[in-house]
């Protein structure tokens, strides 16, 4: 019975560092699992499921909005950190902002379907979806999936393994969002390399969890570095 108390204490201290109440932390921990169940149940209603997971529909636009928000917030955090003379952290958050910009663009194929322009022949010949993006290019798709899995692994494990609370370690309350993406990525790679439509499109929920977690992480980081004392000393030990 000791382990749960240790975990609860770590979660509470982590919440204090990030400014999250126990109730909000608990909600963030449970939401990815609850959503995974609801999206799974929706699959028995093809019309509802398709409305959630198809291209340019609900979950995809939530992902785009989350990546766009994360981009703006991470850039804002980078500016604040630079002003606080924390250059390395500023550079890292700047890189996060660029990664989120790329992810947002890729999510909507850089506006191709929105504005109705075609795919260059050279890209169409190697893109599995015949779209203006990189992540569906057959030769690099596996590398993108691996990067996503590694980022999810870090987001899930780091909050529980790193004893110092630093800006580079996401809140423990977001760990299950990263875990959802990690479990799906590993399951696809090991057991379902060629999934049917319903299973392939189920990825929209784990991807939404991942994008949402990045947006919340960036938001909490901006709020944290807004405190001048935190800028000067952005870590504490359990």
Cα–Cα distance measured from residue 175 to residue 157, given in angstroms and rounded to the nearest whole number = 7
Burial (Cβ within 10 Å: 0-12, 13-18, ≥19) of residue 11:
buried
- Say what the pLDDT of residue 160 is: 92
134 or 50, greater pLDDT: 50
CA–centroid distance for 110 within its chain:
19
Q: What pLDDT band is residue 129 in, cutting at 50, 70 and 90?
A: low
> How many CA atoms are closer than 13 Å to the CA of 14, on its beta-carbon side?
25
Residue 1: predicted pLDDT: 37
pLDDT of residue 138: 64
Which long-range contacts does 73-80 make (Cβ < 8 Å, 24+ apart)? Answer: 73/215, 73/218, 73/219, 73/221, 73/222, 74/100, 74/218, 74/221, 76/222, 77/167, 77/218, 77/221, 77/222, 77/225, 80/222, 80/225, 80/226, 80/231
Contact 20, 33 (CB under 8 A): no
Bridging pattern class, strands 236-237 and 164-165: antiparallel
Q: Please, what's the b/e burial string for 38-77 (b: 16 or more CB within 10 A of its CB; e: otherwise)?
A: ebeebbeeeeebeebbeeeeebbebbbebbbbbbbbbbbb
pLDDT in tens, 131-184: 666 766 666 777 888 999 999 999 999 999 998 888 899 999 999 999 999 999
pLDDT of residue 176: 97
Distance CA 159, CA 173 (A): 9
- Structure confidence at residue 6 as a pLDDT band (50, 70, 90): very low
Encode pLDDT of 26-46 as tens digits.
Answer: 999 999 999 999 999 999 998
Is the alpha carbon torsion for 157, 163, 167, 173 positive or negative?
Answer: positive
Please give the pLDDT value at position 73.
98
In terms of Cβ atoms closer than 10 Å to its own Cβ (0-12, 13-18, 19+), residue 103 is buried
* Rounded mean pLDDT, 2-29: 79
- pLDDT of 236 reads 45
What whole-number distance in Å separates Cα of residue 93 and Cα of residue 103?
A: 15
**For residue 238, pLDDT beyond 60:** no
Tell me the pLDDT tens digit for each residue of 68-117. Answer: 999 999 999 999 999 988 999 999 999 999 999 999 988 887 676 777 66
């Amino acid at each position: 019975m000791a382990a749960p108390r240790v975990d609860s204490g770590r979660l509470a201290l982590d919440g204090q560092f990030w400014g999250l109440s126990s109730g909000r932390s608990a909600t963030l921990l449970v939401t990815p699992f609850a959503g995974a169940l609801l999206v799974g149940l929706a699959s028995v209603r093809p019309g509802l499921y398709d409305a959630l997971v198809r291209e340019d529909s609900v979950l995809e636009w939530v992902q785009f909005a989350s990546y766009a928000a994360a981009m703006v917030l991470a850039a804002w955090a980078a500016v604040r950190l630079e002003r606080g003379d924390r250059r390395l952290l500023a550079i890292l958050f700047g890189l996060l902002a660029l990664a989120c910009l790329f992810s947002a663009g890729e999510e909507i194929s850089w506006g191709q379907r929105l504005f109705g322009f075609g795919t260059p022949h050279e890209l169409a010949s190697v893109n599995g979806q015949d779209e203006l993006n990189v992540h569906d290019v057959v030769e690099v798709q596996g590398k993108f999936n691996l990067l996503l899995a590694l980022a999810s692994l870090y987001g899930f494990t780091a909050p529980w393994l790193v004893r110092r609370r630093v800006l580079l370690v996401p809140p423990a309350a977001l760990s299950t969002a990263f875990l959802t993406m990690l479990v799906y990525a590993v399951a696809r790679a090991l057991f379902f390399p060629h999934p049917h439509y319903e299973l392939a499109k189920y990825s929209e929920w784990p991807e939404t969890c991942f994008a949402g977690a990045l947006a919340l992480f960036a938001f909490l980081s901006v709020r944290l570095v807004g405190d001048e004392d935190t800028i000067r000393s952005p870590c504490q030990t359990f």
